[in-house]
Structure 1
Amino acid sequence: MSIPDKFFGRYQLDKSENFDEFLSSKGVNWFVRQMIKLAGLTKVISQNQEVGKYNMENLTSKKNTNYQGWELGKTFEAPGLDGNQHQVRN
């Protein structure tokens, strides 16, 4: 299982639907939800130097997250935009 080359690159979020409801269901407080929604998001997906591993950056005007060396189908723990540790599964 691997990510096709056409998915590597830089993507900017134009809009999202029900994002506030999603964040609320995850327990993110109102103030943090508002900051996240206003931040705007650019996602950068790339191959890692190790075969079968990938890198992903979430770039915002407020805070960036950088996930290095993750594998498809495996869970890892990493900080989210809300500052809390999360279990991330790709």
Structure 2
Amino acid sequence: MERFLGKYHGVGTENMDEYFKARGMVWPLRKMILSMMDPKNAKREFSEMGDGSFTYKDIGSTRTPVNWSFRLGETFTSTSYDGKQHKILFEFDPSGLKLLEKHEIVDEPESQQIYEHYLDNGQLIWNAIIVVL
């Protein structure tokens, strides 16, 4: 987890329209959200709390900022980017290079999302994956 600790600033987005479409958003809503998004406003931070837990903050990438405290491998429930309650789990992939952020919407357990966090030349890459059950 140590290599992820720090502050990161957004530089760009890719395939966001496809992501929103996969989430079932209608065209006018997708276009409105995309017009308001400025990746340069995105600020993400991972910090260590000292008791074995970590904090993840995401400010500016969406209208709903997040500030979560978590322990690796332990599920917690919190409000997510879409304003809904999610069960969230942070853990590493088998290679240990990607930090996975797994979401299950509490009222929609068939809708799952996985966000991969990994570093590329010192930049934090955040990749969203929709899982349809």
Q: Counterpart of 2:23?
A: 26
Displacement of 1:26: 3.0
Task: Identify if the C-alpha distance between structure 1 residues 20 and 60 changes in structure 2 by more than 3 Å, giving closer, same or farther.
Answer: same
Query: In 2, distance between residues paired with 1:79 and 1:36?
Result: 24
Cα pair 1:55 1:66 within 8 Å, conserved: yes
Q: Counterpart of 1:78?
A: 78
Is 1:65 aligned with 2:62?
Answer: no
Q: Structure 1 unaligned runs (5+)?
A: none
Aligned-residue CA RMSD in angstroms? 2.7
Q: Pairwise mapping of residues 16-55 of structure 1 onto structure 2 (< 5 A)?
A: 16-28=13-25, 31=29, 34=33, 38-40=37-39, 41-51=42-52, 53-55=53-55
TM-score (norm 1): 0.70
Query: In 1, distance between residues paired with 2:33 and 2:9?
Result: 19
Task: Identify if the C-alpha distance between structure 1 residues 19 and 35 changes in structure 2 by more than 3 Å, giving closer, same or farther.
Answer: closer
Q: Which has the higher helix share?
A: 1
Answer with 1 or 2: which has the greater Rg.
2
Query: In 2, distance between residues paired with 1:16 and 1:63?
Result: 17
Question: Highest relative contact order (Cα 8 Å, sep 6+), 1 or 2?
Answer: 1
Cα pair 1:36 1:81 within 8 Å, conserved: no
SS for the counterpart of 1:82 is coil
Displacement of 1:36: 8.8
Letter matched to residue 66 of structure 2: T
Cα pair 2:75 2:87 within 8 Å, conserved: yes
Matched residues, number:
85
Is 1:9 aligned with 2:6?
Answer: yes
Report % sequence identity. Answer: 24
Q: Structure 2 unaligned runs (5+)?
A: 91-133
Q: Which has the higher strand share?
A: 2
Query: In 1, distance between residues paired with 2:77 and 2:35?
Result: 20
